[in-house]
Amino acid sequence: MIEIEKVRKSFGPLEVLKGIDLTVAKGEVLTVIGGSGSGKSTLLTCINGLEPIDSGRILVDGVEVHAKSTNLNKLRQKIGIVFQQWNAFPHLTVLENVMLAPRKVLGRSKAEAEAEAEKQLKHVGLGDKLSVYPARLSGGQQQRMAIARALAMGPSYMLFDEVTSALDPMLVGEVLDTLRLLASEGMTMICVTHEMKFAREVSDRVAFFHQGIMAEIAPPEELFGAPKTAELEKFLAATH
Amino acid sequence: MFETAMTAKDFWMLVQGAGMTLLVTAISVAIGTVVGVICGIFRFQAGPWWAIPVTFVLDVCRSVPLLIQLSLAFAFVTAVLKLRISGFSVACGVLSLYTAAYCSEIVRGALESVPPNTRRAGRSLGMTWLQDMRYIALPLASRVALPSWIGLSLGVMKDSALIYVVNVSELMKSTKDLITRLQEPLFLLLLCGVFYFVISFPVARFGSYLEKRWSND
Ligand SMILES: Nc1ncnc2c1ncn2[C@@H]1O[C@H](COP(=O)(O)OP(=O)(O)O)[C@@H](O)[C@H]1O
Ligand SMILES: [Mg+2]
């Protein structure tokens, strides 16, 4: 379970998160929508401790992310995150990209790590690209590799930050299909996305962020069917 | 074309000089690279403010002419500290620092060229700072740094010609001694140039070999 309590966060004078309260249960798929600059990415990077917060707290399985005593490297093994820019390790093959963290962080043997990496890469449809370098992959393939790389750590939670936004429209589908597959397998996910159709289909709940505040949160039919705030109405009208 | 009075023994003297050049260069580049990488990482990580003392020392090494550094260092350790240290050790020490100064600059620049997002991806997988450095940042940075580092090594090899001021008989000094004795400057300088080429060439080739090997696409 991810529990976010009264989280505030500023970059200098700019308050980006203005008191976020949110709980994501095991197995839930939450999508987060909202205009650019509303704090969606910041929230995700706070959840796995890549960014510090100013006040409030975030608990992952009961462990406070920003407590001094928390071993972040350990905690991050539970929380996979995939960014808009796929961030392949360009000096490693696809297989090595996926094997690296399990070997060095989890201390897996080469054979174990290789077997797991191969399994995850097949899972996302890259079984035939194992020994290729990332530069040879399309954006969609690199993004799926990044997903496999995160999955190979055996995370309990997956955070996706606009993973299709930097892709050619033609390649969006294959990555969304991978996310759908994960959702159907019961992975707990927080997906920041601009794909409203996707959000409608896979989400248990959808959260709408506006200027650092979670303005609305509801199951998709409700949120898309009957927006309560003028901001959401405006946002939805603009995205159609 | 060349009528020379040079004997096999004279030639052997040049070979020994070349060997000395190679030895001093190898030692200085090895030590200088290790120190340079450490200083480069420190300067990159600490930010410009904390790095000021290190940067200052390295800047001095880069801006004071090598000839002056060598003479001063030699005078300092022998006359002031009264240590019985060979010119060879002083030469290696000064050249190592000189290499370290340039190397740290190369390393810092190369680390800055690694996209922060790539490193962030590493950290988000649970890697520690050190693991990220070792398996992601440094490998990527070395690809960027390689051409400059090869250039630096070749440069140090040529600059090592100056260590004659601390009485080390490297290639250039041996050549000059022979010129004085045999009075055949053109021939000897040409030969000396060939020697420099012969010892530099493998390094340059090795560099392009690595460059090719490391281009992953
Ligand atoms: N590292 C940072 N330093 C300063 N400002 C930042 C930083 N990261 C994000 N911001 C600012 O915080 C605001 C929210 O950013 P972000 O969380 O990326 O929004 P979103 O993902 O919803 O588009 C933006 O105005 C952005 O410019
Ligand atoms: Mg964003």
Render B13-71 in DSSP notation, one character per residue.
HHHHHHHHHHHHHHHHHHHHHHHHHHHHHHHHHHHHHHTHHHHHHHHHHHHS-HHHHHH
What average pLDDT does this structure show over A74-92? 92
Query: pLDDT of A131-179, one tens digit each?
Result: 999 999 999 999 999 999 999 999 999 999 999 988 888 889 889 999 9
Residue A200 CA to residue A205 CA, distance in Å, equals: 9
End-to-end alpha-carbon separation of chain A, Å?
33
From the CB of residue B213, how many other CB atoms can be counted at a distance below 10 Å? 8
CATH domain B9-214 topology: MetI-like fold (1.10.3720)
B79, pLDDT greater than 90: no
Residue A117 CA to residue B125 CA, distance in Å, equals: 14
Query: pLDDT of B45-75, one tens digit each?
Result: 988 788 888 888 888 888 999 999 999 999 9
At residue A3, the pLDDT reads: 95
At residue A161, the pLDDT reads: 94
What average pLDDT does this structure show over A83-87? 88
Chain B residue with CA closest to A83: the answer is B121
Atom 26 in ligand 1: residue holding the nearest Cα: A37
Lowest-confidence pick of A8-12, A101-105, B99-103, B199-203: B199-203
CB within 8 Å of B32: residues ≥ 6 apart: B95, B96, B97, B98, B99, B100, B102, B103, B156
Residue B73 CA to residue B166 CA, distance in Å, equals: 9
- Mean of all residue pLDDT scores within chain A: 93
B2, pLDDT greater than 80: no
At residue B85, the pLDDT reads: 86
Q: How confident is the model at residue B215 (pLDDT cuts 50, 70, 90)?
A: confident
Name all residues whose Cβ lies below 6 A of ligand 1: A 11, 14, 16, 34, 36-42
What interface predicted TM-score (ipTM) does this complex get? 0.86
Is B47's Cβ below 8 Å from some Cβ in A?
no
Residue A11 CA to residue A14 CA, distance in Å, equals: 5
Contact call for B127 and A73, based on CB within 8 A: yes
B1, pLDDT greater than 60: no
**Considering the domain A2-89+156-239, what is its CATH architecture?**
3-Layer(aba) Sandwich (3.40)
Is B124's Cβ below 8 Å from some Cβ in A?
yes
Lowest-confidence pick of A187-191, B6-10, B23-27, B71-75: B6-10
Q: 């899972």: which residue's tokens?
A: A123
Output the six-digit token pair for A128.
């035939």
At residue A224, the pLDDT reads: 92
Distance B7 CA to ligand 1 centre (A): 75
Residue B164 is given by DSSP the state G
B interface test, pick of A48, A60, A87 with most B CB neighbours within 10 Å: A87
Query: pLDDT of A8-50, one tens digit each?
Result: 999 999 999 999 999 999 999 999 999 999 999 999 999 999 9
Domain boundaries, given as residue ranges, for chain A: 2-89+156-239
At residue B203, the pLDDT reads: 86
CB A178 within 8 A of CB A17: no
Contact call for B122 and A101, based on CB within 8 A: yes
Contact call for B126 and A50, based on CB within 8 A: no
Residue B84 has phi, psi (to 5 degrees) of -95, 80
Q: Which amino acid, one-letter code, is at A231?
A: E
Long-range contacts of A19-26 (CB under 8 A, 24+ apart): A19/A56, A19/A213, A20/A56, A20/A213, A20/A214, A21/A214, A22/A207, A22/A214, A22/A217, A24/A157, A24/A188, A24/A190, A25/A1, A25/A188, A26/A1, A26/A156, A26/A188
Q: How confident is the model at residue A118 (pLDDT cuts 50, 70, 90)?
A: very high
Percent of all residues in chain A with a pLDDT value above 70, rounded to a whole number = 100
- Mean of all residue pLDDT scores within chain B: 90
Verdict on whether the full-model pTM lies above 0.80 = yes
Query: pLDDT of A200-233, one tens digit each?
Result: 989 999 999 999 999 999 999 999 998 999 999 9
CB B39 within 8 A of CB B50: no
Q: Phi-psi region for residue B18, left (φ > 0), alpha (ψ -120 to 50) or beta?
A: alpha
CB A209 within 8 A of CB A38: yes
Contact call for A76 and B126, based on CB within 8 A: yes
Q: Which helix (H) or strand (E) holds A16?
A: strand A14-24
CB B135 within 8 A of CB A104: yes
B103, pLDDT greater than 60: yes
CB A110 within 8 A of CB B86: no
Residue A229 is given by DSSP the state S
At residue A126, the pLDDT reads: 93
Residue B79 CA to residue B82 CA, distance in Å, equals: 5
Atom 20 in ligand 1: residue holding the nearest Cα: A37
Partners of A213 in the β-ladder: A210
Atom 4 in ligand 1: residue holding the nearest Cα: A11
Residue A51 CA to residue A161 CA, distance in Å, equals: 15
Distance A190 CA to ligand 2 centre (A): 13
The angle, 0 to 180 degrees and rounded to 10, between the axes of the packed helices A94-104 and A139-151 is 20
Contact call for B217 and A77, based on CB within 8 A: no
Percent of all residues in chain A with a pLDDT value above 90, rounded to a whole number = 86
At residue B217, the pLDDT reads: 63
At residue A75, the pLDDT reads: 92
* Nearest chain B CA: its distance from A220 CA (Å): 29
Residue B106 CA to residue B84 CA, distance in Å, equals: 34
CB B107 within 8 A of CB B40: yes
| Residues of chain A found within 8 Å of residue B124, distances taken between Cβ atoms | 48, 50, 76, 79-81, 150
* Nearest chain B CA: its distance from A20 CA (Å): 22
For B125, the closest of A90, A101, A134 (CB atoms) is: A101
From the CB of residue B88, how many other CB atoms can be counted at a distance below 10 Å? 18
Query: pLDDT of B87-99, one tens digit each?
Result: 899 999 999 999 9
Contact call for B127 and A101, based on CB within 8 A: yes
Distance A16 CA to ligand 1 centre (A): 7
Is B115's Cβ below 8 Å from some Cβ in A?
yes
Q: Which amino acid, one-letter code, is at B131?
A: Q
At residue A136, the pLDDT reads: 92
Q: 């090594």: which residue's tokens?
A: B153
